[in-house]
């Protein structure tokens, strides 16, 4: 047992160091203008999509349900946070800038509002079998769009401007680490195994005493929270919100990222979100064909590799190190199905 714990500690240490190294390097590059504004903007957008895609993977990949209203949750989070940051301000507390505190609190509030909506919408939908969830979340996304268009506080169809550009690399990275750590720790815990068992076979899971509704709601609420967070980051990235921002297409884009990356692979989602955000930005011709290519990809991947390109394979820095040094006596063998490695593939961002 102690060996296992040591391996775990080492792994955590390694991943934390890699994370910090990545963070410091990129921050230096931004500071030294090696990455110009344009690239920094794309990088932030990548991180926003990573947060959304990883959270969607929780319901889609691990829970095995298909929600189509992820953009609805992002919309809720985005508008909530934007309303808070545009109406309130917090004075600086010593060295801590009040605006950063406000942004953090607003983002958390956005996440919580999305989470509450997730639980409310999930309660009726998740009691039912599979495909109703897809359609009810889709309906939910549309209801949110209609609401946002018709109430005053969101600016209606005109949209909502004057949102501060608070999203920067540090915030994006912070929330990315949060969502990755949360998802990784959750799916590898006892609760996570319960969630995965729901995906494999609902009836079998229920018959060994797993409370289906409870675990579905847990996964759903967690995903909704981070979708809300990503919405808040998005709102404070583009600084202007309109109801059309978070449409059905946005939900589908998230879905494509998760499906391509691999249903049940956090690193897969990160890579897919990164590639699918950068490629349309860089190749303008691709951008015009984007949706056709996405839809073809969805169909082709589903026919030939239904679990997505990476399946549930995870990149792992610890495994890489072990392979390089081949010090088997040092590292106790982990069980086969023990997935590991979390933030390691951030290096590819």
Q: Contact residues for another protein (CB under 8 A)?
A: 60, 64-66, 68, 121, 124-125, 127-132, 134-136, 138-140, 142-143, 146-147, 149-150, 203, 248, 252, 255, 259, 263, 289, 291-292, 294-299, 302-303, 306
User: Could you tell me the smallest distance in angstroms from the CB atom of residue 68 to another protein?
Assistant: 8
Please report how close the Cβ of residue 289 comes to another protein at its closest, in angstroms: 8
Nearer to another protein, 149 or 188 (CB): 149
DSSP helix/strand/coil, 160: strand
Q: Which lies closer to another protein via its Cβ, residue 34 or residue 135?
A: 135
Shortest distance in whole angstroms from residue 57 CB to another protein: 12
CA distances in angstroms from 310 to 13, 31, 40, listed in the order given: 25, 34, 27
Q: Which is nearer to another protein, 47 or 114 (CB)?
A: 114
Residue 17: count of CB within 10 angstroms of its CB: 11
CB of 61 to another protein, least distance (A): 9
**Residue with smaller CB distance to another protein, 25 or 150:** 150
Can you point out the beta strands (E) in 9-146? none
Residues 289/296, Cβ–Cβ less than 8 Å: no
**DSSP helix/strand/coil, 18:** helix
Which is nearer to another protein, 108 or 139 (by Cβ)? 139
Minimum Å gap between C-beta 128 and another protein is 5
Between 118 and 172, CB nearer to another protein: 118
Nearer to another protein, 121 or 227 (CB): 121
How far is 307 from 144, CA to CA, in rounded Å?
30
3-state helix, strand, coil in the chain (%, to 5): 75, 0, 25
CA distances from residue 156 to 45, 144, 150, 330 in whole angstroms, order as listed: 25, 12, 5, 61
Question: What are the two backbone dihedrals, phi and then psi, of residue 127, each rounded to the nearest 5 degrees?
Answer: -70, -20
Residue 303 Cβ, how far from another protein at the closest point, in Å?
5
User: Min. distance of Cβ 21 from another protein in angstroms?
Assistant: 36
For residue 325, the SS3 value is helix
Cβ neighbours of residue 15 under 8 Å, at least 6 residues apart? 317, 318, 341, 342, 343, 344
């Amino acid at each position: 047992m102690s060996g296992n714990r040591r391996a775990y500690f080492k792994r955590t240490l390694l991943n934390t160091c890699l994370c910090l190294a990545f963070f410091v390097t990129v921050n230096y590059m931004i500071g030294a203008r090696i990455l110009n504004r344009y690239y920094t903007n794309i990088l932030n957008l990548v991180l926003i999509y990573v947060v959304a895609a990883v959270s969607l993977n929780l319901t889609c990949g691990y829970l095995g349900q298909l929600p189509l209203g992820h953009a609805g949750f992002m919309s809720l989070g985005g508008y909530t946070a934007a309303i808070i940051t545009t109406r309130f301000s917090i004075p600086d507390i010593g060295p801590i800038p009040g605006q950063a505190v406000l942004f953090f609190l607003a983002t958390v509030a956005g996440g919580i509002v999305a989470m509450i909506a997730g639980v409310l919408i999930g309660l009726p939908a998740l009691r039912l079998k599979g495909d109703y969830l897809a359609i009810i979340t889709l309906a939910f996304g549309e209801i949110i769009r209609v609401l946002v268009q018709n109430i005053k506080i969101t600016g209606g169809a005109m949209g909502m401007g004057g949102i501060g550009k608070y999203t920067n690399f540090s915030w994006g990275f912070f929330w990315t680490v949060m969502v990755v750590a949360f998802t990784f720790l959750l799916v590898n815990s006892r609760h996570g195994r319960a969630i995965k068992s729901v995906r494999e076979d609902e009836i079998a899971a229920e018959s060994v005493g797993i409370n289906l509704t409870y675990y579905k709601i847990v996964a759903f609420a967690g995903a909704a929270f981070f979708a809300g967070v990503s919405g808040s980051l998005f709102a404070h990235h583009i600084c202007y919100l309109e109801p059309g921002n978070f449409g059905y297409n946005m939900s589908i884009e998230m879905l494509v990222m998760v499906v391509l990356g691999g249903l049940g692979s956090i690193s897969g989602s990160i890579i897919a979100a990164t590639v699918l955000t950068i490629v349309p930005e860089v190749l303008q011709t691709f951008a015009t064909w984007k949706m056709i290519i996405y839809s073809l990809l969805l169909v082709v991947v589903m026919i030939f590799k239904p679990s997505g390109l990476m399946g549930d394979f995870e990149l792992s820095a610890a495994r890489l190190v072990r392979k390089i040094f081949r010090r088997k006596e040092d590292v106790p063998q982990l069980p086969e199905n023990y997935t590991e490695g979390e933030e390691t593939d951030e290096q590819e961002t």
